[in-house]
Structure 1
Amino acid sequence: MIQDECNWIGPGLPATAILLALTAPGVLASDYPSSDYLLSDSETRDAWKGHGVSFGLGYTSEPMFNIVGGEKLGGTYADNIALEFGFDLERILGIPATNLVIKGSKRDGTSVSERFVAPSEGGNQFTVQELYGGQNVKLVDVRFNTLLLDERLMLSYGRLTANSDFLSSPLNCQFINNSYCGNPKPVFLQNPFTFTSYPLATWGALARYDTPSRVWTLQAAVYDGDPTGKGGDPASPDHNQHGTSWGVGNNGVTMVGELHYHVNRDSDTALPGTYKVGGYYMTGDFLDVASTDNSTTTGSAMGWVMADQMLYREKPGADRGLWGFGSLVFSFTNDTNPMPWYVSAGLVYEGLFEARPRDTTGVAISSGWFGDEVNVARTAEGLPEKDYEAVIELNHQFVLGRGISIQPDIQYIIRPAGTGDIDNAFLIGARVSVNF
């Protein structure tokens, strides 16, 4: 079912977002082979799992082409090789209810946003391909998870990505544009970059508690505020290109909290949904977006409200049906956050056609507004002011079986880069995924 908040890679132990993404519904055949993997059979995987070891390897590519508007016509691709190992430490070492998840990433390709949609602005704000960013080899999570209190309390600690746990939805990555997948983008725009997202991790610790009724979930975390080693200097280069610089940073911490309200969470007949409210505060130094000389100011804070709600179910107990989602992101510190307001909404239908129950169809729209502070600096530099940028996206994911999915996609970028000087852009492309 789409709404599941996390998968599991061992008995009672939470898996990670990669395996969720790699096995997401998707692709061109009427029959679905029993295996979700291209190469390895389930017996081999089950044998390893019996020894406490799980593993995943996946490849995803996103070729996208700007065919109308923007500044240039043309296309690029971006891709990602994802590797993950999970170790059930209770089976291996006798450590109760604990697992270890290690993830790695190798990304290649270039950005159609930067090369064709809006090269004069360094790309439009909501980049067309969510796989673009961190185009090299990276060690990502090295994450321990421990379950306590009858599995109602989960503690995670180690090298973590904040976006895996907060401001997240299993519906986000139905879409390819970075406005949606993996999270609403305004929370990542501070300089230096602090709220970490795949494939960049940082030191952190998280606690998540499910009430006995399973109606409420409360989670809170603290992360190192200097994942790139810039020490609060906006002009400094990234000192953690491969995710292997494990020292403690020098730019404060990021504190995050989120409250979830679940409706019909365990029902096979009623319509389930999850509603979230959350926010973060960063204690470090960040670029003052109104400045022209890389001046900094201390502290940055944002908040959000988001919802996932099933709107229609084909029949009791079925995963097939229609989901709706929406999010609102807002800033408390406009001097450090270039985009203080953002909204998104969309629909995802799982199994729109009876013969293809695992396919998913999605449509979404999002818009983000630039703050007045951004335009103070741009006016001083003789640059056009920015207002807003919006994205409309439509796609359908075909699950072919044996771990292969193909997802044709179209996007329409309104006011690329927010200036109004660049023609609206129409793009076509696809996401191709293989789960080995």
Structure 2
Amino acid sequence: MMRTLKKLLFYGGAALAFTYGCLTAAPAWADEPKPDSPLVVTIDYSLDTVGIVKGGAVRRAQTLDHLSLGLDIDLDRALGLGGFSAHIEGSNTSGGAPGERAGALQGVDNIEVSARRLRLYQAWLEAGLAQDRVNLRVGFSDLSGEFATSDASGFLLNPSFGFAPEFAASGAAAFPSTALGARLRVAPTEATYVQVAVVNARAGVPGDDGGADFSFNDGEILVAEAGWTGNGRVTLGYWRLSKKQDDLLTIDSSGAPVSRIAEGAYAAAEQTLLKTEDGARTAVGFARAGLSDGRTTPFRASFQAGVLLQPAVSSRPESTLTAGVTHAWLSTAYRGAEAAAGNPLARSETVFELTYSDQLTRNIRIQPDLQYVRNPSAAPGARDAIVAGLRINIGF
């Protein structure tokens, strides 16, 4: 354990020192006001050092990173197309697989991916109509950024706080590979909205094996959500695949898997729990619960909850402290299939996370993170894992 912890501190500290030294010596023009332009370029880079301090499958520190290069275009100012805008974003991922080493079904790091490569992550055209009460987006877009979201959980690194595991397991377009689709959002009042999306069920973008898919041979994912955003936020949503999926366990008389409709629903809420009289410090609570059909994906349901405190330190206005818990239940079909293969599983896996984030400079944010994975992989007898991490984020 001590050897892994030393490696984690060494690699994380070295990366922080190098990054801080390079970027605090920013050129004078970095602070000059930018000209009013219809084009906005953004660069975002995250470098994570993650180590399994105790338990898990393998105790070892690893590094992984994600580089994003984005271009936003105001088509009104650029071409005179009132209400229109466009977004193009490339993504490059590399590094280790700490979730696998921890043995965590839900993972431990939201930039960990199975394939390390350069991709076109998002590319969409958006139109705002009726004073932006009606908004239409068409192209390759990440569903997890618009459906079942919670702003207060945004700093937590475990992937389940971003996209609920039972929804993500449906194949819905999300990081790192999106899919072609359309999303329509209508806001009848300032505090209410309804949005729907139709997206290719087969995720794929240029840079993936096979590239982007335009055939829609796997059908579509249909998502609908209604929300209230007054003093807090409450959302209700439903998703469904248009094409039936194979049951993970049940077979018909010919020995072929029975076809089922894959579908699910979710509810989420976010509310300010505490606010000082001067408004300088707030505590925001969040909760989300999701349920799936439980026959076509590994996860039957999940629940996430937590609290965000900002600022965490009074003298550090950009500092945050977030504590969260995510609990995922495995589906009966998945457990049955695993048991038939000689791999019996328990019912669920739980992850507790505590993370602190602080803006060191205008461009650099640092984030130490600690996770406790209880019953990793829902495997009987599996050792609970303690995972320590450090994220350095650089943004321009």
Mark yes or no: TM-score above 0.5.
yes
Deviations 1:274-302 (A, max 9, x none): 11100111112434222699846242101
1:72 Cα deviation (Å)? 2.3
1:248 Cα deviation (Å)? 2.8
In structure 2, what is the Cα distance between the partners aligned to 1:242 and 1:314? 52
Checking the alignment, whether the CA contact within 8 Å between 1:179 and 1:185 is kept in structure 2 is: yes
Deviations 1:102-160 (A, max 9, x none): 0110000011121x222xxxxx2111111011421110111111111112111111112
The amino acid across from 1:309 in the alignment is Q
Checking the alignment, whether the CA contact within 8 Å between 2:204 and 2:211 is kept in structure 1 is: no
1:218 Cα deviation (Å)? 0.8
The amino acid across from 2:275 in the alignment is R
Checking the alignment, whether the CA contact within 8 Å between 1:148 and 1:154 is kept in structure 2 is: yes
Tell me which of 166, 169, 174 is aligned to 1:189. Answer: 169
- TM-score, normalization by structure 2: 0.87
Work out whether 1:176 is the aligned partner of 2:157.
yes
1:117 corresponds in structure 2 to 102
Cα separation, partners in 2 of 1:406 and 1:188, compared to 1, 3 Å: same
Tell me which of 297, 301, 312 is aligned to 2:274. Answer: 312
1:51 corresponds in structure 2 to 37
1:422 Cα deviation (Å)? 1.0
Percent sequence identity is: 22
1:330 Cα deviation (Å)? 0.5
In structure 2, what is the Cα distance between the partners aligned to 1:295 and 1:283? 18
Tell me which of 160, 163, 169 is aligned to 2:144. Answer: 163
2:131 corresponds in structure 1 to 150
Checking the alignment, whether the CA contact within 8 Å between 1:139 and 1:242 is kept in structure 2 is: no
In structure 2, what is the Cα distance between the partners aligned to 1:296 and 1:399? 52
The amino acid across from 2:173 in the alignment is T
Tell me which of 221, 224, 240 is aligned to 1:257. Answer: 224
Tell me which of 58, 64, 81 is aligned to 1:72. Answer: 58
Work out whether 1:327 is the aligned partner of 2:288.
yes
The amino acid across from 1:245 in the alignment is A
2:240 corresponds in structure 1 to 281
2:363 corresponds in structure 1 to 403
2:192 corresponds in structure 1 to 216
In structure 2, what is the Cα distance between the partners aligned to 1:320 and 1:37? 31
Checking the alignment, whether the CA contact within 8 Å between 2:295 and 2:332 is kept in structure 1 is: no
Cα separation, partners in 2 of 1:423 and 1:313, compared to 1, 3 Å: same
1:399 Cα deviation (Å)? 1.0
1:131 corresponds in structure 2 to 111
1:240 Cα deviation (Å)? 6.4
1:303 corresponds in structure 2 to 265
Name which structure has the greater RCO, CA cutoff 8 Å, separation 6+: 1
1:313 Cα deviation (Å)? 1.6
In structure 1, what is the Cα distance between the partners aligned to 2:210 and 2:69? 14
Of residues 335-344 and 79-88 in structure 1, the stretch that sits farther from structure 2 once superposed is 335-344
Checking the alignment, whether the CA contact within 8 Å between 2:309 and 2:320 is kept in structure 1 is: yes
The number of residues matched between the two structures is: 370
Aligned 1:2-151 pairs, distance under 5 A: 41=30, 43=32, 46-47=34-35, 50-114=36-100, 116-118=101-103, 124-133=104-113, 134-151=115-132
Deviations 1:137-196 (A, max 9, x none): 11011111111111211111111221121111222331111121x222221113xx2x11
The amino acid across from 2:99 in the alignment is S
Q: Give the SS at the match of 1:340.
A: strand
Work out whether 1:198 is the aligned partner of 2:183.
no
1:227 corresponds in structure 2 to 203
In structure 2, what is the Cα distance between the partners aligned to 1:217 and 1:243? 37
Tell me which of 368, 385, 391 is aligned to 1:425. Answer: 385
Checking the alignment, whether the CA contact within 8 Å between 2:108 and 2:158 is kept in structure 1 is: yes
Tell me which of 303, 307, 324 is aligned to 1:343. Answer: 303
1:203 Cα deviation (Å)? 1.2
1:351 Cα deviation (Å)? 0.7
Q: Give the SS at the match of 2:337.
A: helix
In structure 1, what is the Cα distance between the partners aligned to 2:37 and 2:310? 35
Tell me which of 329, 333, 338 is aligned to 1:378. Answer: 338
Checking the alignment, whether the CA contact within 8 Å between 2:260 and 2:295 is kept in structure 1 is: no
Checking the alignment, whether the CA contact within 8 Å between 2:166 and 2:297 is kept in structure 1 is: yes
In structure 2, what is the Cα distance between the partners aligned to 1:86 and 1:382? 51
Work out whether 1:435 is the aligned partner of 2:374.
no
In structure 2, what is the Cα distance between the partners aligned to 1:375 and 1:322? 38
1:322 Cα deviation (Å)? 0.4
1:18 corresponds in structure 2 to none
1:37 Cα deviation (Å)? 12
Checking the alignment, whether the CA contact within 8 Å between 1:152 and 1:211 is kept in structure 2 is: yes
| Contiguous gaps of at least 5 residues in structure 1 | 1-27, 29-34, 119-123, 230-238, 265-272
1:416 corresponds in structure 2 to 376
Cα separation, partners in 2 of 1:68 and 1:196, compared to 1, 3 Å: same
1:233 corresponds in structure 2 to none
